[in-house]
Structure 1
């Protein structure tokens, strides 16, 4: 139940004046009724009638208290002057002046307290409002963060995982051409790039062919003059709204991803009109760019067998060039090894067979069975992973044959960390000879 007693600022003005009149009237009338001989209470040590104006001053401040004490004094004088009262004692002027001063000080104290209270109330309301805003924003961010953690917990943005998924998805297609593979490709990008509105288009002579081959959401008409599209064709690489080269105008896209082969021919493009905000991180953009490059190679070349024979060397060289390009552009480590069996015997053949069986998911081999020579491309492998791979070979050899690689006549002739310059890259063509 609400009461106005503890909130005087909310009391209606009429009620305030009514209370002033009632307290003043009680202070004037009660002494007359109960102490007719000394209605001013000058003989009792304390003038109790002043208690009424004192309560008014404490509740409503200086002005109302001052009016109340003046009204009380005037009322008492009128009662005396009209002979209604015949008190045995006269007014004590000093006491009366003292009571007036007490009432004034009391009223002023109340006014100062009220102003301080109002100021603190306003500050409290402001702090409370800011706290509510902060709390709402905190819960919004917290829920978004929880959702992001759930998404990332169920799907780690792993480059190795995404490339393996690309190989599996493309390898299962009956017809490996962009028109037939469009929906499968777009599904991969939606999964790993958290795209919300995107389309995959065919490109002919550097012109995007509308409508899209596959789309998530309704795509707008493609404009070749869009700054993001122009920047993509100029660079032949992924361009996002974060890139300086795409900031020359307002684009309707967030990301433009070209699908190219190793010769940098653009024959497809993925245009993204809407993407979740956290997908514009550099790690995610790199993942999408590398995925597009590998998809381009897989669609342009029928060979997907990761263990190749000598006659498949041209495709192996293309894969080396792709890894070299990614090492230069995106700082993705890769290694190239040349392993040769100087003494061809059952044990060396057994080791070469083990190499094929123990191949890592993304590794690509070029194997010459007659010469017992193996070229091994290790994408996404840093120096530590390469060293660990060689150590595992030695451990396996020791465990199975009792000999290390040197004893078996197995020599690692080349250990090349990508990227390398173009001249060294050209000499790789002769590796399989």
Structure 2
């Protein structure tokens, strides 16, 4: 008889209302490729013109009506896909006039070219298309910023959960556990930092043995997910291993919703597994599934299963972060991994959405009041910023990452910092001989840009 689990069902990350709004937005302004846009514009325009021709064969463009109804078609396509799509629809209307209405004899609606009709329609289409292009670009930038902030929030939430569980274990289970959570995090960092990425989940056997020891797993297997498909062979196993059953209701629930599922949540449905744990990154992308068949009854608890999923997620995030960190550390070997990872992420954000971030390097002379200014600058660090400080023989160097900050953001930060230092020490950065160097973060070798700024600070004293 399999033991019961007491972990309650996790809430869905996206509510039904959010899904409805997202689907409505995709319906009104879908994200499609240019060939599909051109085909839809062509067919839609010709379909409406054909309908109008059926109603009024002598005037299919409705030029004799009191309102230019036919120009609603280019207007809709301009708002839906942008100015180019609207202009293409307007050119189709112009072609229809020359092909159908221009040869018409007077006093038919054709014959005389309706200049104001087409000029006004094209102007209306251009204005609507310009409006659509502006807001499409802004929405794309906002989505990029929101994805970046959500990614940082997910990592922060995971770290906060590890901290909370760490305090609880220090109070309740410190003597009974062979490792602390700090040891666990350090071990997972070392395993995920290996650059042998030929395997889908490198070092998974060592990772599974480690989490099995900490979370008391007896029989379990890990199956990798590649290209959205679950592998047929287990990457790693504990005990006798678990046979893969693609039709198992617990496994299907985990793959569909990407959430932790255990025996109690299946209602009356039967499963050969005790729990299915998704291995996903901070962007909710599935990289593997842990199938558990046996574990002690007291270990089947909400906190233990949640900790198991968090540790595996920490390992998955480490795998995806390794190549980003390497891009920076190959130019600046001494750069800490969190700073290198954040710098590479900001560079990728700029490449994908065009949203700029900035890199600021300050060299404080290693004597006089400059050291006090350095300490105050460290205390004034903002929540979103990331700071790396180190010392040389002649100066103390501070590297500051300013996410989502362009030229004005850097100027505002320096003015605010200079004002604080002036009020407390009666001197600013320039008065204390502090060298300040700034640069934009882009996707073209962010580590090389950081190394260049550090070289400019080497001789400062």
Instruction: Report TM bin, short chain.
Output: 0.3 to 0.5
Q: Of the two, which has the highest radius of gyration?
A: 1
TM-score, structure 1 normalization: 0.39
TM-score, structure 2 normalization: 0.37
